């Protein structure tokens, strides 16, 4: 071994060992806390760059009579003022159905709907230009609720159904029956970085678009279609997002279109960044739902039949609403086996911004509706809801097929629930509730445990694919590019860990590059909790292609005919930054030296990896099939305290147990679990979207919309992983973790429901979601008067 190789060997001795399974800090953590991590609005401005904004509809519903632009065009510094007339024939777009105008044309669909784009040299000129636009329009009566949309038969897409058995007969013949209507509110994504985009014009009519988006391919596709370009003329880049939670899966399109149109028309760079009020007023949110339900059950709590009619508030256009409803129907069983069940779904059309993806994608609404039914049965039978849940949960050898016909394999639900009940001292605490509530005249207390079984995969088959570009350099360092986007969830950190272990090098030897459609084409959105499952697997696949080439080359280097050792790639080991032949102890060369020598021998050190999820196939026409590769499972116990006089709610304790397989990065995953739960708890207890009778959003800022603060985090918050390594489906036996813990926030709502059951009246107040202080106070008042 030469001196250079010896020095390299000494250097790699200090490299980390295996990366996967370690709690390596988020790769942008320092940048986040110091403010040095660049977002869209941190990118340096070009000298020719224009500020972009828009004027929106003054009415939730109506007709445009005329738009006066002359005064705006005369403002010094205003460069262009654009309407639908400047877009051309492709003004209508949409991810599923082409039904959403880019710029309003004739009909007004919601307040703030973009109508006129203004581009200017300065922010002041932009504001003045927008202020001078006069929109003459006639207002009509808007549809602002699901109930009103149902009454007027205003729907988006067809009615969908998933059914098993004969629920109508089962319910009619059941010894006990209950029915009701459950109202579920929406939720604002409230990402810290608002919608933002920059467009740079290039040669041959090309555009480079920097977008805060979960879906670079969607931006590329929509910009090309609406602006009359081909996809190869548009490149979309996303370095990172300051949060997204589903709100940037499709909603990033309109701001990207605005700057792209300006750049195309002016030949100048263009930038738009929504302020928080604008963002909240004009972008879609989690869908509000109404669920009409009917259930039949036995005196011991065994559910024999269930029917749920789900209606969602889709807003003014389809966006992803029909897909969101599909996942609702696929999660209405939650963790329970129903032999006879029918779940119907219909998206309603209203005059609010088109609602869209939000962490959980329709699953949370389904789980909340089902857990409401469980709580109602428990109240009616005067039994503990936990026992009711255990009685109805899925089995392992029987009672283990979902209403859509998928076998629930890898079922740990009962074990998770019983383990959590023991670790949280659930039964003892529940037994003390009657005494506490009878003696505490100031506060009312409740406890509930809710489980979750969340299906992992896109329910649209073709989206279950990913590609990755892996480049190994002659100094032994590695660049990885995937179609996955980093929004703070730690995707890039996990990919670095996976690739580092494939090559047996230190974590710091790998960097994940900004997501770009130039490097990764035809990609799926970073959504459905599948970012690591898909992109991580693709990166590993690309790494393995290169690793095989290097192993073949190394086998030739280490071959020793005089010792009878023929070239054997199977005996080549990559570990600790060293490549060696395990048959020759003490042998080995630094990984970097092997890479350098391989290049000199013209061995390709780059590869494109690809992965497609196996075994997923769901027929949405029949409502049958296998839409999911596997299920992430968990349960949470929440304890609440309610002020009997004001309805103020506190959550003093939460215990949570999640099965996420073998964690790639335990602390990153724990951050996702705790953060997801708190976001879910916010949805079910505090976050309330309030509109006036004209369709104006009144809760459109941090001062009027209450997301959880650090003071809302339960003082006692116990979170643990359920030990499980039987998930053979995914990379390194991991499981998706992004969305499932949010659904466990329903435990806090169920605990409120449980607390109200201790009031002396037998009248059920029909607690809606979210259980805000006002909603709880309504229930307390009704109980007192009932």
d(CA 762, CA 778) in angstroms, rounded, equals 16
Rg (Cα) of the chain, in Å, rounded?
Answer: 28
Q: What b/e readout covers 352-382, taking b as 16+ CB neighbours within 10 angstroms?
A: bbbbbbbbbbbbbbbbbbbbbbbbbbbbbbe
Beta strands, E only, 680-731? 716-721
Residue 118 makes CB contacts below 8 A (sequence gap 6+) with: 52, 53, 54, 55, 72, 78, 80, 81, 82, 126, 129, 130, 133
C-alpha torsion angle, residues 743, 745, 749, 752 (rounded to 10): 150
- Of residues 174, 155, 460, the one with CA closest to residue 309: 155
739 is catalytic: yes
d(CA 263, CA 593) in angstroms, rounded, equals 47
Quote the DSSP letter at residue 504. T
d(CA 244, CA 266) in angstroms, rounded, equals 30
Two tokens, residue 55: 């004027």
d(CA 333, CA 347) in angstroms, rounded, equals 20
Three-state SS at 494: helix
d(CA 704, CA 697) in angstroms, rounded, equals 10
Quote helix, strand, coil % in the chain, to nearest 5.
Answer: 35, 25, 40
Distances (CA, A) of 287 to 57, 163, 205, 364: 22, 23, 38, 10
How many degrees, rounded to 5, is the angle at CA 146 between CA 142 and CA 150? Answer: 90
Two tokens, residue 219: 């931006």
How many degrees, rounded to 5, is the angle at CA 626 between CA 623 and CA 628? Answer: 115
Distances (CA, A) of 209 to 80, 91, 101, 193, 765: 19, 19, 20, 17, 51
Sheet holding 578-581, edge to edge: 572-575, 578-581, 589-590
Asked if 416 and 657 touch (Cβ cutoff 8 Å), the reply is yes
d(CA 27, CA 592) in angstroms, rounded, equals 23
Query: Which of these is catalytic: 100, 639, 739, 775?
Result: 739
Q: Which helix (H) or strand (E) holds 235?
A: strand 234-238
Known catalytic residues are 739
């Amino acid at each position: 071994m030469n001196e250079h190789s010896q020095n390299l060997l000494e250097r790699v001795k200090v490299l980390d060992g295996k990366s996967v399974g370690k709690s390596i800090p988020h790769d942008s953590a320092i940048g986040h806390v110091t403010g040095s991590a660049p977002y869209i609005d941190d990118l340096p401005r070009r000298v020719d760059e224009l500020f972009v904004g828009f004027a929106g509809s003054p009415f939730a519903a109506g007709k445009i009579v005329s738009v006066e632009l002359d005064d705006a065009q005369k403002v010094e510094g205003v460069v262009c003022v654009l309407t639908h007339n400047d877009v051309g024939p492709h003004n209508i777009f949409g991810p599923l159905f082409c039904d959403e105008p880019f710029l309003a044309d004739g009909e007004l669909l919601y307040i703030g709907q973009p109508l006129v784009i203004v581009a200017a040299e300065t922010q002041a000129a932009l504001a003045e230009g927008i202020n001078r636009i006069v929109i003459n329009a006639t207002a009509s009566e808007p549809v602002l609720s699901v109930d009103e949309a149902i009454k007027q038969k205003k729907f988006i897409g067809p009615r969908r159904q998933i059914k098993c058995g004969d629920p109508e007969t089962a319910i009619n013949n059941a010894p006990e029956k209950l029915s009701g209507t459950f109202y579920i509110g929406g939720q604002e994504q409230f990402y810290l970085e608002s919608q933002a985009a920059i467009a740079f014009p290039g040669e041959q009519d090309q555009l480079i678009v920097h977008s805060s988006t979960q879906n670079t391919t969607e931006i590329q596709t929509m910009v090309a279609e609406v602006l009359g370009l081909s996809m190869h003329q548009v490149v979309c880049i996303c370095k990172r997002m300051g949060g997204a939670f589903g709100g940037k899966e499709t909603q990033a399109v309109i701001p990207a279109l605005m700057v792209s149109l300006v750049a195309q028309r002016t030949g100048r760079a263009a930038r738009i960044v929504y302020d928080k009020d604008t963002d909240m007023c004009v972008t879609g949110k989690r869908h509000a739902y109404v669920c009409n339900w009917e259930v039949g059950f036995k005196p011991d709590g065994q559910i024999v039949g269930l029917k749920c009619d789900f209606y969602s508030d889709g807003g003014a256009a389809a966006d992803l609403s029909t897909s969101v409803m599909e996942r609702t129907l696929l999660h209405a069983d939650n963790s329970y086996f129903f032999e006879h069940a029918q779940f119907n779904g219909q998206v309603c059309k209203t005059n609010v911004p088109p609602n869209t993806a939000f962490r959980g994608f329709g699953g949370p609404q389904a789980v909340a509706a089902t857990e409401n039914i469980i709580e109602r049965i428990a109240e009616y039978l005067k039994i503990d809801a936990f026992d009711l849940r255990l009685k109805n949960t899925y089995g392992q050898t029987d009672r283990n097929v979902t209403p859509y016909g998928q076998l629930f394999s890898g079922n740990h639900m009962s074990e998770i629930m019983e383990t959590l009940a023991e670790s949280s001292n659930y039964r003892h605490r529940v037994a003390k509730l009657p005494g506490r509530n009878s003696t505490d005249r100031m506060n009312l207390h409740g406890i509930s445990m809710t489980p979750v079984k969340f299906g992992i995969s896109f329910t649209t088959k073709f989206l279950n694919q990913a590609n990755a570009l892996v480049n190994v350099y002659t100094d032994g360092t590695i660049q990885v590019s995937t179609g996955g986007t980093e929004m703070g969830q730690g995707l890039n950190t996990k990919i670095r860990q996976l690739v580092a272990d494939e090559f047996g090098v230190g974590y710091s030897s790998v960097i994940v590059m900004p997501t770009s459609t130039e490097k990764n084409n035809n990609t799926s959105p970073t959504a459905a909790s599948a970012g690591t499952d898909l992109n991580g697997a693709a990166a590993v696949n690309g790494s393995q292609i290169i690793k095989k080439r290097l192993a073949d080359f190394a086998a030739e280097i280490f071959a020793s005919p005089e010792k009878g050792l023929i070239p054997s790639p199977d005996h080549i080991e990559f570990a600790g930054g060293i490549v060696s032949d395990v048959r020759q102890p003490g042998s080995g060369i630094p990984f970097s030296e092997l890479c350098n020598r391989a290049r000199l021998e013209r061995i390709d050190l780059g590869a494109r990896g690809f992965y497609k999820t196996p075994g997923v196939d769901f027929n949405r026409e029949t409502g049958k099939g296998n839409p999911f590769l596997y299920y992430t499972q968990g349960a949470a116990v929440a304890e609440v305290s309610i002020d009997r006089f004001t309805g103020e709610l506190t959550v003093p304790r939460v215990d949570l147990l999640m099965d996420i397989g073998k964690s790639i990065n335990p602390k990153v995953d724990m951050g996702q679990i705790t953060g997801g739960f708190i976001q879910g708890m916010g949805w079910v207890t505090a976050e309330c979207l309030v509109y006036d009778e004209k369709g104006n959003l009144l809760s459109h800022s941090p001062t009027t919309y209450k997301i959880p603060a650090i003071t809302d985090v339960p003082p006692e918050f116990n979170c643990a992983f359920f030990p499980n390594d039987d998930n053979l489906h995914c990379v390194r036996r991991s499981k998706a973790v992004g969305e499932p813990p949010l659904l466990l926030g329903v435990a806090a709502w169920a605990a409120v429901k449980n607390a109200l059951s201790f009031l002396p009246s037998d009248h059920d107040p029909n607690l809606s979601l979210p259980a805000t202080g006002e909603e709880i106070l309504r229930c307390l008042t009704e109980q007192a008067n009932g």
